Amino acid sequence: MAVMVKHEKLKNWVQEVVELCRPGSIHWCNGTKEEYDHLMTLMVENGMADSLQNRPNSFLFRSDPSDVARVEDRTYISAPTQDEAGPTNHWIDPDELKKTMTELYTGCMQGRTLYVIPFSMGPIGSPISKIGIELTDSPYVVCNMHIMTRVGTKVLEVLGTDGDYIPCLHSIGAPLAEGQEDVPWPCAPIEKKYISHFPQENLIWSFGSGYGGNALLGKKCLALRIASAMAKREGWMAEHMLILRLTNPEGRRFHIAAAFPSACGKTNLAMLEPTIEGWKCECIGDDIAWMKIGNDGRLYAINPEAGFFGVAPGTSYNSNPMAMETLKENCIFTNCALTDDGDIWWEGFDGEPPAHAIDWKGNDWTPDSGRPAAHPNARFTAPAAQCPVICPDWEDPKGVPIDIFVFGGRRAGVVPLVNEAYNWDHGVFLGATAASETTAANIGAVGNLRRDPFAMQPFCGYHMGDYFQHWFDMGDKLGAKAPRIFYVNWFRKSPDGKWLWPGFGENSRVLKWMCERVEGRADAVETPTGLFPRKVEGKAGAVETPIGLLPRKEDLDLTGLDIDNDDVEELLRIDTKAWQAELPDIEKHFDQFGRHLPQRLKVQLENLRKRLK
């Protein structure tokens, strides 16, 4: 199927890359099933992939052990000055970085095919969507992009002769000399890996890695790092947030966007199965939200992705049954174990471990091996459309109106189950100070507290202090139509280390309280600081506390839930001394942003200090 290209600037850019990278051939991707099937067949024949007997049209890949995750210390925001990139990003001068990478790109695709992938982030033609063009020498990337984005000739039709696109150049950095035998997972050594963003030019260059967000450039690179910088300039929002629709028994819909750091149950919440009677949850997106203000003054969100790129270990019918149902066919698995009956397996999978498997490195494995069978960051790539609880409106080009923002983190103590922000500025303060105790999935000693503002620290494409200001600016534009803001902590423990909250589907009880708070908006009173505890009227009750509005036990629907009364009280307890002890860490966190820190955040910190007295 021939691809017609009428965009002269695009054709010229592709020709420039051909002359620089010197591929053996060029293929313009059309996004068809035939194209996907052909590339998969080639990769199976070449030993790069295994076809899974028990899952129709599904395949398992094993990466090189040096290429298993995002490489944050090789990821750069190359703004014109280091000050514009800010303290949370790695920076190299743009001219210097381009010179280094141009040398690496020279001849890097020799003996390989250059694939041109036209893709849309968001429904094709949506006013919130953006078009990207990824040039890559990896057929694995092409097939993943088929699932994760909308790829094909329709994108080129929308682009027309002079439409805007984000150029994304990727190479695995492993040229093949004539007659040289390829390896199952070609990539460059770690010191030659670069994932580079030039936000002033809306440009992405990636070299040396074939894995995940390093190579699927529509994902974190475009959808967050470049998009966040574009959103700041253009007056919209690109956020690391799931989107879900919750419908109450009367049929009223609430749309929730939620941001959590890693290992905090984001995908589980996106595919929630409510345990409270009459409530229904539908998934719109599990990872990224793009949001623009609509004609009615409300904030509308789309999921810019078309698939799920999820962490496999820990995913099970117990933790996330809807994800497991999504993975039955048409999926790509990376760095999972292969069972003797031709299926995948990972730690945390349902049932007993297999007696024997081939591990993610291709070696024999048994439960006595003393090592994981799957890599801790093993992944699945699955079409969102085949999720059983996908929302019928998930591809609505105008998006869905957001009622509620939720932030959260993993804390064994201090932070209660849920609290509501007093107002927008207080909500921005909650997002800006979001923190989690590190787990094995994070870098750092287990149990250390890491601030991850808005769950965006690894993904903000410009100075994070300016990003905080952008949140204030958006709130000013939205005014009374701004979403309400809440903070949750599903992970609080008792002094003897017992989980206090059951989590998973029971989290719907907390979301119900949020929805009822929103429904009672007309009756709610503006709450002055310093009066405790005064009940705040609304459909669902709340009391003022130093850290925000909290439900009382009777405000949460605990019907049918076997939970000890003391545990509920502990979940909602505010320890003033523990919160006072948090203040120095928040101050240190804010200090790194220097003159870029908005004054309004300083005011919020002082307000908290006063309330804690």
Catalytic residues: 264
Question: What is the spatial distance between Cα 64 and Cα 429, in angstroms, rounded to a whole number?
Answer: 41
The per-type count for the chain, helices as H runs and strands as E runs, is 16, 32
Question: What is the spatial distance between Cα 227 and Cα 425, in angstroms, rounded to a whole number?
Answer: 23
Question: What is the spatial distance between Cα 453 and Cα 406, in angstroms, rounded to a whole number?
Answer: 13
Question: What is the spatial distance between Cα 378 and Cα 360, in angstroms, rounded to a whole number?
Answer: 8
Cβ atoms of 246 and 476 within 8 Å: the answer is no
How far apart, in Å, are the Cα atoms of 436 and each of 264, 379, 446, 454, 457? 8, 23, 11, 12, 12
Amino acid sitting at position 4: M
* β-strand partners of 284: none
CA angle 359, 362, 364 (to 5 degrees): 60
Question: What is the spatial distance between Cα 412 and Cα 414, in angstroms, rounded to a whole number?
Answer: 7
Report the b/e string of 282-295 with b at 16+ CB within 10 A. bbbbbbbbbbbbee
Question: What is the spatial distance between Cα 297 and Cα 480, in angstroms, rounded to a whole number?
Answer: 9
Residue 51 has phi, psi (to 5 degrees) of -80, 130
Full DSSP string of 279-317: -EEEEEESS-EEEEE-TTS-EEEE---SEEEEE-TT--T
Amino acid sitting at position 559: T
Cβ atoms of 306 and 148 within 8 Å: the answer is yes
